[in-house]
Amino acid sequence: MNPEAFKAALAEQGIDLTPTQMQQFATYYEFLVATNEHVNLTTITEESEVYLKHFYDSLTPAFYLPALRDQPLTLCDVGAGAGFPSLPLKIAFPQLQVTIVDSLNKRITFLNELAAKLDLTGVAFYHARAEEFGGKRAPHREAFDLVTARAVARMSVLSELCLPLTKVGGQFVALKAAKTADELAVSQQAIATLGGKLSADHDFALPVSNDPRHIVVIDKLKQTPKRYPRKAGTPNREPLEN
């Protein structure tokens, strides 16, 4: 998917990128690949692959959550790595207020430099563990309209990291590559315990590659009990599963 095909594929979804936004994506690509030579940010570096599997993929939540397109939502991206999905969403929908939390300082340094190059405002980057960022006394606990994660961790683990950050009435959105039915089957108890309820599991394929994708949407219905999230590392080691 070259930049022109990327623009056309988004236009088919009702997302029309301006020349300025297309230039921001081009700058993002160039800086990502240049930085990746000395900081491990991504295994995907071919232009057509980055545009499809990073940029386009990051924008797919807006196909299913129209509020992303025009509402000034507060969005927290947990473990965003090189900025996915939140920074492509920010470029396409500048009214979003984006916060990224990542546990690796090198990635935060990259994101700060990238935001300056892209002239982004309304973005904040935090070097922290998600368990601490959403802890019971943390200022960001239950502070965000939308919390995203595009990660390989299981839904039970992601829910414990992300639902404590999601405000009541907000949503946690997980971007998953693998089949989600088995994960969701053993995560229902965790999701409910943490104050959430499964709203949707959108199943689709990326264009060109036909790689399977899922967007799982969890509604936050009630406050997360103060004992969650547990201390750093525990959610991964001892997931809350049925």
Specify binding-site residues for S-adenosyl-L-methionine: 79, 84, 130-131, 150
Q: Which helix (H) or strand (E) holds 184?
A: helix 181-193
State the CB neighbour count (10 A cutoff) for residue 20. Answer: 10
**CA gap 33, 175 in Å, rounded:** 23
**CA gap 62, 200 in Å, rounded:** 14
Residue 32 makes CB contacts below 8 A (sequence gap 6+) with 41, 42, 45, 50, 54, 82, 114
Binding-site residues from annotation: 79, 84, 130-131, 150
Residue among 156, 154, 168, 175 nearest 217 (CA): 175
**CA gap 219, 14 in Å, rounded:** 25
